[in-house]
Structure 1
Amino acid sequence: MPRIRSILFDLLLAVWTGLFAPVLVILWLCGSPERGVRLASRLWARGILVGLKWSVGLTYTERGQHNIPDEPCLIIANHQSTWETLAFLVLFPDVAIVAKQELLTIPVFSWFLRKSPMILIDRESGSKAIRKMVEESEAALAQGRSVLIFPEGTRKPASEPIEFKRGVELLYVKLGRPVLPVALNSGHFWGPGRTYKRAGAISVSYLDPIPPGLTAREFMRRAEHLLEAERRSSWPQAA
C-alpha cells in the first residue's frame, strides 16, 4: 500500500505541475513580475504539500518558531530530501534559495528559478561562484528576502553526519546577518535511496540563531554542532 500511495502522489505531482502551464504563459505575457512568479511558486509548492498529505499521509510539524529573526537573515539547513526544497517556498515566503546551476536543465522549473529569481551558481567555477553568491545574496537581503543555503551541497542520507562544504562560512562573514539554523529529518520519509515515500510527520526545527561577528571557523563549528545535535535527537514520527 505505501508504494501505491507513493505512485499516486507522483501522478498528482505531474498533473498539478501541468496545470501551472497556463499560469506560466500569463506571467510571461505580463513581463514575468518577480512577486507574481514567487506567488505562483508558493501556490504550486503548497499544492504539492497538500497532495503529499492526502495521498501519502506525509505531513510536517514545526517547533522553535520564536527563534526566527524579525529581519531578513541567512538560513542554513541540512539537506536530506527534495521535500525541503519545496517546503521552504511555503515556510519562508519570498525566500531566495542558493541552488546549483544544473537545475536549469529541468523544463518549466528552470523558468521559475530564473524569474523568482533564485541564486544560481556553478559550483565548478570556484571563487567566481562565491563572489556571485555573495553579491546576489546581498541584493536579495536588500529587497527584504531571506537567503537559504544547504551547506552540505547535496542531499545526504539521514544516517550520515552533517558536514559543510566550503562557501557558507564566507557568506556568513560577508553578509554580517544573523543565521537561522533549521534542522529537518525529511530523509526518513522521502530521501535518496528510498524507493517510495513514507507516511509520517517531518520535523522542522528552528534552532537558536547564530549572531554575526564570529570568525569563519567559530561559525562553522557552532553551526555544524547545532544541526548535528538536532539530527541525532530527531527521531521520525511514523504514521
Structure 2
Amino acid sequence: MIVQAIRSTLFYVVFFLHTIPLAIIVGLMAKLTPGLKAQGWAIGQYWNNANLFFLRWIVGIRTEVTGGENIPEGGCIIASKHQSDWDIFAILPHTGHPAFIAKKELLDIPLFGWAAKWIDTIPVDRKKGKDALPDMMASAAERLERGCRVIIFPEGTRRPPLAEPAYRSGVAKMYEALGVPVVPVALTSGLYWGRNNLVLWPGKARAHILPAIEPGLPAAEFQKRLIETIEAETDRMILEDVRKGIARPISPRLRNRISELEAKIGDHLA
C-alpha cells in the first residue's frame, strides 16, 4: 500500500508538471494562432499518449482497447461507461477526430478551457438542466457534419465498479434527434484508478468498443438496449479481471457486488 501510494503521488506530480505547460501553450495558440489547429491537436495527442506511458511505467496500469473496428466511418456518437480519467486517455486514440461533451465549468477555466473549445469540445451547462439540451444538440450536430465522433459518458460522471447504473436521458435524446449510430463502450478502469481514490493500482485496464446501435429505434428502446449492452459487457469484464486477481483492496461493497455477479453470471465464465 505504501509503495503504491508513493508511485501514485509520483504519477500525479509528473502529470501536473507535464500538463500545465502544455495547457498554457495550446491555450495561447487557441487565442493567438487559431489557424494552427492541426498543430494544437498534435500536441493534445502527444499529451494523451504521454499520460498512458506515465500510467504504465510509474504506477503499473497497462492499457488494452479492443473493438476499434466497430467504430463506423463518419460521424457517430461514442457512449462510454465512465469509471476513471483513464477512460479519456484510452478511448481518444481510437476516435479519429473526437468531440468530447464536457461540463461548461471546465471550459470556463482560462487556458485549459480555451484549448478545449479550440479542439471541438462541446460544453453542457448542467445548471440549466433540460434547457441546456438545445445548445448541446446544435453543437453536436455541427461537429457531426464535420465528421467528428461525439463522445459522451451517459451517466454524466465517474461511477464505482459494479455500481447500480445511473444513465441519464441526454444520450437517448441525442440519438433520436441526430440520427447517427451510437457505439457503446464497456470498461474496467475503476478497478485500477478508482473514483475519488488517490491511490492507483497496477493491472491491465481494459475497454471494449462494442458494435454500433444503428439509428431508427424508439428512444426508450434504444436507452434500454444501450444500458443492457454496456452493463452486461462491463460486468463480464470486471468479473473476468477479478478472477484473474487484482492488486487493489476490495471494499465490502465491491465484494458483495462481486458475489452477486458470481451468482448471476459466474457459470458462463467458468
Are 1:42 and 2:45 matched, yes or no?
yes
Q: TM-score, normalised by structure 2?
A: 0.82
Q: Which of 77, 80, 84 matches 2:80? A: 77
Q: Which of 131, 134, 137 matches 1:131? A: 134
1:154 maps to 157
Change (3 A) 1:16 1:32: farther
For 1:117, the aligned partner's letter is: D
Change (3 A) 1:170 1:55: same
1:82 offset after TM fit, Å?
Answer: 1.4
Runs of 4+ in structure 1 over 6 Å off: none
In 2: Cα distance, 1:31 partner to 1:89 partner? 22
Change (3 A) 1:60 1:141: same
Unaligned 5+ segments in structure 2 are: 248-270
In 2: Cα distance, 1:223 partner to 1:69 partner? 17
For 2:104, the aligned partner's letter is: Q
In 2: Cα distance, 1:107 partner to 1:93 partner? 26
Change (3 A) 1:4 1:107: farther
Are 1:143 and 2:151 matched, yes or no?
no
Tell me how large the CA RMSD over aligned residues is. 1.9
Quick check: 142-151 or 87-96, which moved more?
87-96
2:195 maps to 192
1:23 offset after TM fit, Å?
Answer: 4.8
Are 1:51 and 2:76 matched, yes or no?
no
1:27 offset after TM fit, Å?
Answer: 5.2
Instruction: Please state whether the residue corresponding to 2:34 is helix, strand or coil.
Output: coil
Q: Which has the higher helix share?
A: 2
Q: Contact conserved, 1:42 with 1:93, CA < 8 A, in 2?
A: no
For 1:162, the aligned partner's letter is: P
Change (3 A) 1:183 1:80: same
Q: Deviation per CA, 1:148-202, whole angstroms, max 9, x where unpaired?
A: 1111011111120323112111100011111100111111111213230111111
Q: Contact conserved, 2:26 with 2:40, CA < 8 A, in 1?
A: no
Are 1:221 and 2:228 matched, yes or no?
no
In 2: Cα distance, 1:168 partner to 1:218 partner? 12
Are 1:8 and 2:10 matched, yes or no?
yes
For 2:11, the aligned partner's letter is: F
Q: Contact conserved, 2:99 with 2:151, CA < 8 A, in 1?
A: yes
- Equivalences, count: 239
In 2: Cα distance, 1:24 partner to 1:129 partner? 25
Identity of aligned residues (%): 34
For 2:103, the aligned partner's letter is: K
In 2: Cα distance, 1:7 partner to 1:145 partner? 35
In 2: Cα distance, 1:88 partner to 1:206 partner? 9
Higher Cα Rg, which structure: 2
Change (3 A) 1:14 1:230: same
In 1: Cα distance, 2:200 partner to 2:110 partner? 24
In 2: Cα distance, 1:118 partner to 1:84 partner? 16
In 1: Cα distance, 2:40 partner to 2:221 partner? 37
Instruction: Please state whether the residue corresponding to 2:184 is helix, strand or coil.
Output: strand
Quick check: 108-117 or 174-183, which moved more?
108-117
Are 1:211 and 2:209 matched, yes or no?
no
In 2: Cα distance, 1:17 partner to 1:6 partner? 16
Q: TM-score, normalised by structure 1?
A: 0.92
Are 1:183 and 2:186 matched, yes or no?
yes
2:105 maps to 102
Greater RCO (Cα-Cα under 8 Å, separation 6 or more): 1
